[in-house]
Structure 1
Amino acid sequence: MGSTFLILYSKPGCHLCEGLQEKLTQVNQPKFILEIRDITTREDWFAVYQYEIPVLCQKLQDREKPLPRLSPRASVKQLEQMLQKYLI
């Protein structure tokens, strides 16, 4: 099985984004490679995600699959369970 790639759409100063990013660093299973995308660096990302961030997606070969949004109060364990359930 190849590596799992996740993308976090975020922007500087977003406390919800920082919170999710911190929790992602604490996830033990499943293993994944995380790419952080600053939506302020590209107009197309900003147009799509400016009111939605943080947005977590799984990067597939031909597309990105958005993952369900978790409550900012969700625990690392709840985040792990969501990832295990939804990652392809």
Structure 2
Amino acid sequence: MGEQLSVVVWSKQGCHYCEDVKQYLKEKGIAYQTVDVTNQDERRDILEIKYGVRYVPIIEIGRGNVYEAVTEVGITHLEKALDRYHHKNPAF
């Protein structure tokens, strides 16, 4: 049996793109964790080191030690990434 899908949404307060992502995940029944970068420059530093960006939303999706990040804004990019994981293991 495969490991459970893990989704992490890096977001900030007042970001409507971030809220769109969270709403989409809720509607699809996909559990996620949130990392709030509001007034947390050190968290934005982490995003810059990992992905070369300081903006949100950034969505990390993966299982075990294998993750990918969705750094493009827009639900279609998130859907494509989730589809890749769904095809790898339909039971997520």
* Class of the TM-score when normalised by the shorter of the 2 chains: 0.5 to 0.7
Question: Who is 2:84 aligned against?
Answer: 85
Q: With a CA cutoff of 8 Å and minimum separation of 6, indicate the structure with the bigger relative contact order.
A: 1
Contact 1:11 1:38 in 2 (8 A): yes
- The aligned amino acid for 2:11 is S
Secondary structure at 1:69 match in 2: coil
SS in 2 for 1:33: coil
C-alpha deviations, 1:13-34, integer Å up to 9, x for none?
1111011111111125xxx431
Deviation of 1:64 (Å): 4.3
**Aligned Cα root-mean-square deviation (Å):** 3.0
- Distance in 2 of aligned mates of 1:51 and 1:20: 17
Question: Structure 2 length normalisation: TM-score?
Answer: 0.63
Q: Does the 8 Å CA contact 1:3/1:33 hold for their aligned counterparts?
A: no
For 1:82 and 1:58, how far apart are their aligned partners in 2?
Answer: 8
Does the 8 A contact of 1:10 with 1:37 survive in 2? yes
Deviation at 1:2, TM superposition (A): 1.8
TM-score of the superposed pair, with normalisation by structure 1 = 0.65
Asked if 1 retains the 8 angstrom alpha-carbon contact of 2:3 and 2:64, the reply is: no
Q: Identity of counterpart residues, as a percentage? A: 19
The answer for the alignment partner of 2:60 in structure 1 is 57
**Deviation of the 1:44 alpha carbon:** 2.6
Q: How many residues of Structure 1 are paired with residues of Structure 2 in the alignment? A: 81
